[in-house]
Structure 1
Amino acid sequence: MAISSTLKKLVFTFLLLQISSLSHAHLLKTCKIDQIYNIGDSISDTGNLIREIGLATFCARPPYGESFFKKPTGRCSNGLLMIDFMALDAGVPLLPPYKNSGADFRHGVNFAVAGSTALPWYELAAENVSSSVTNSSLFVQLDWVASHINSTCHNHRDCSKKMENAVFMFGTIGGNDYNYAFFEGKPIEEVRSMVPQVVNTIMLGVKKVMSYGATKVVVPGNMPIGCLPVYKTQFLTNISAAYDESLCLKQMNDFAKYHNQQLQQAIHDLQQQNPNATVVYADYYNAYQFLLEHSKSHGFETERACCGIGGKYNYDMPRMCGNDGVGVCPDPERYVSWDGVHLTQRSYKIMAGWLLRQIFSSLHCHF
């Protein structure tokens, strides 16, 4: 038993050393990736929602962005996001948001909008789920992609040539469809019935970007939502059996696993139908689990939000980070969660390093 435990620690330490050297790895640059396009929600929005609704989004207010940019940029973190670390790894500029019309889009565009959903508002409304943050759902973002492609390519062959060394990050998207349903009080069985529709919509979107010439598409799964302070606050219970060894809600994590299983099967089927394309599943679930293990072993805070107020997890939905009177921890580097919903810059860096190594071998790079 002692040998097994020691070996596990050695493997973990080796992986951690690799992750910490991400800034020197440049796996995407080695893969000759010179453009990154991104669709998604608040996990990867670099400034679209802030341009849609301004200060009405909490991510537009201090202390968001202060650890890196010294001001809010619309990123829902204290600093950089995973998509930023991927751009740094590729050696390209941080992705400009699509709604920044004066930006340089030569190395890619970020179409992600915080609060966005996979399903359009009217399909969610049919499920009695409201999406009040933004109407810029997946197919709206795909329309933006089409407009951008049409403005930069002469024809399909030209697009295919220009996107030869591009990677298209397709998410995360779809998580908010479930978030809105759960926090409106939908039972888990009812939300679970939405999964096939959400996954099918995601895959229709993947096919769409492939029709524009994308040959390398990365489709992330969901994180273990039962580990997030927002979920642990909403579904707090005294029943110890409801939690796993990481003190995460089992039922919510099982739901995330179900979505991820359905998504992986859909990706496999699509890849079988399109053997010349590369469609890669990005395992955000296990990247987050790695982050938790790292954080616990180093004594970092894995339960409470850095920026927040009240309750066991320092989170109160009506008084989110960015509101008056809501405090922020002195050292975000020692926290997994930034605001109870999103992660800290440090967390995103660790996850990005893990993910880059997970997807690299599947990108079929030609050196």
Structure 2
Amino acid sequence: MASSKSSPPGFVFSILIIISFFNFVTCNNQHILSSCNFDAIYQLGDSIADTGNDVQDNPSSKFARLPYGETFKKATGRCSDGLLMIDYIALSAGIPFLDPYLNKDGLFDYGLNFAFAGATAMSAEDLAKWNVSFVPTSISLSRQLDWMFSYFNTTCRGNKDCFKKNGKALFMVGEIGGNDYNYAFWQGKTIEEVKTMVPEVVETIKQATKRVIGYGATRLVVPGNFPIGCFPVNLTKYQTNDSTAYDELHCLKELNNFSIYHNYLLQQAIAELKEEHPDETVVYGDYYNAFLWLLSKADLLGFDPTSLQKACCGIGDYNSGLSSWCGDPKVPVCENPNERLSWDGAHLTQRAYELMATWLVRGISPRLQCEYIVSYSSAV
């Protein structure tokens, strides 16, 4: 006689949730954006998206040598152990990886990358007005837009209709602005002091987006800031014995609230852009919640639960010592970067970027007016 025993309903439900969750994260993501029919992608931003501009400008940069790029088997100038979100976005759109603008031997048939590690939204001159004097690069959004205009002006050869082809491209305006705040924080400014800068940083991003629209862009993604209170570099710098300073994910509340404020103003600016340019599609890229989703589900995704906020490459309590950095002599690297969220304390691992890109493209594809229809599982 068959046994009358059966699995508890709660157990079965949990298994179904886990299966549904893994279907979400393992589903082939490579072609979701292909229904958008983008024929090119153009990227502005900082180290989150730089595929080699910084190292073209400074070949002695740490990002130009291992262990950076070790998962990719080659240091390419990407600030990670391997690929970045923009690489996975390109794969999803059926577009080759974007070459950096400063690579004069690059292939730009399918777009190019203007992002530069360390870049700011505001210019160094504008940051100086806020008494932010430590700005290690002169590359800002304005400079990247000048590069973009120079490129389009050269390829268009004076043909005013040339910009029309940009209506078939995807433009990523950021993530940008984080370094404006980082440089202010590193100079000892308080969160309240830096918070007064946010409206001008956001206005700079808004004006840059309007300029991109002026180049013929019709579909744009403007990403927000990460929950910076979850990053090892900030957990190290602002470490405290006050348990109330941390949330349930062990992130610093005050710093995350700062990011929320920036993202709130940025979403307001995007809403204004939509009213001013009703024929263009401007989409907010929710990097903040993409990362929190990743952090909250990390144990299901194969990350080491004991090292969720420890960098793979680094030293110190969070493997993000402020006196030594990844790439410095004797700074260790973890055995398996795929088990870590953070690569060097300020940048993420290839695996983290891959999963965040999956989350992001599933959310933005319908809003970019692609044919692909997204359906989120309740398990996610």
Bin for the TM-score computed over the shorter chain: over 0.9
Range that drifts further, 218-227 or 314-323:
314-323
CA distance in 1, matches of 2:228, 2:178: 9
Residue 18 to residue 208, structure 1, CA distance change in 2 (3 Å): same
CA distance in 1, matches of 2:253, 2:354: 26
Alignment counterpart, residue 321 of structure 1, candidates 319, 322, 326:
326
Question: After TM superposition, which residue ranges in structure 1, 4 or more long, deviate above 6 angstroms?
Answer: 2-9
Alignment counterpart, residue 198 of structure 2, candidates 162, 183, 195:
195
Task: Give RMSD over aligned pairs.
Answer: 1.9
Alignment of 1:357 with 2:357, yes or no, is: no
**SS across alignment from 2:309:** strand
Return the offset for 1:133: 2.5
CA contact (8 A) 1:20 1:350 kept: no
The residue type paired with residue 166 of structure 2 is M
Return the offset for 1:366: 6.1
CA contact (8 A) 2:67 2:327 kept: yes
Return the offset for 1:296: 3.1
**SS across alignment from 2:47:** coil
**Structure having the higher Rg:** 2
Alignment counterpart, residue 336 of structure 2, candidates 303, 308, 331:
331
- Which position in structure 2 is the counterpart of 1:105? 108
Residue 16 to residue 124, structure 1, CA distance change in 2 (3 Å): farther
Alignment counterpart, residue 32 of structure 1, candidates 29, 37, 43:
37
- Which position in structure 1 is the counterpart of 2:161? 157
CA contact (8 A) 1:36 1:169 kept: yes
Alignment of 1:280 with 2:283, yes or no, is: yes
CA contact (8 A) 1:48 1:113 kept: yes
Return the offset for 1:317: 2.3
Return the offset for 1:225: 0.2
1:25-64 pair list within 5 angstroms = 26-55=31-60, 57-64=61-68
CA contact (8 A) 2:44 2:113 kept: yes
Residue 363 to residue 299, structure 1, CA distance change in 2 (3 Å): closer
CA distance in 2, matches of 1:205, 1:5: 51
CA distance in 2, matches of 1:27, 1:53: 36
CA contact (8 A) 2:33 2:370 kept: no
Residue 266 to residue 326, structure 1, CA distance change in 2 (3 Å): same
Summarize deviations over 1:57-115 as a string: whole Å, max 9, x none.
321221000101x1211100000000000111111110000000121101001000000
Unaligned runs of 5+ in 2: 1-7, 373-380
Summarize deviations over 1:130-176 as a string: whole Å, max 9, x none.
3433111110000000001101124332211x113200001111000
Alignment of 1:185 with 2:221, yes or no, is: no
Range that drifts further, 209-218 or 296-305:
296-305
Residue 336 to residue 157, structure 1, CA distance change in 2 (3 Å): same
1:265-304 pair list within 5 angstroms = 265-297=268-300, 298=302, 300=304, 301-304=307-310
CA contact (8 A) 2:226 2:259 kept: yes
- Which position in structure 2 is the counterpart of 1:127? 130
Alignment counterpart, residue 213 of structure 2, candidates 210, 213, 217:
210
CA distance in 1, matches of 2:354, 2:159: 37
Unaligned runs of 5+ in 1: none
The residue type paired with residue 161 of structure 2 is R
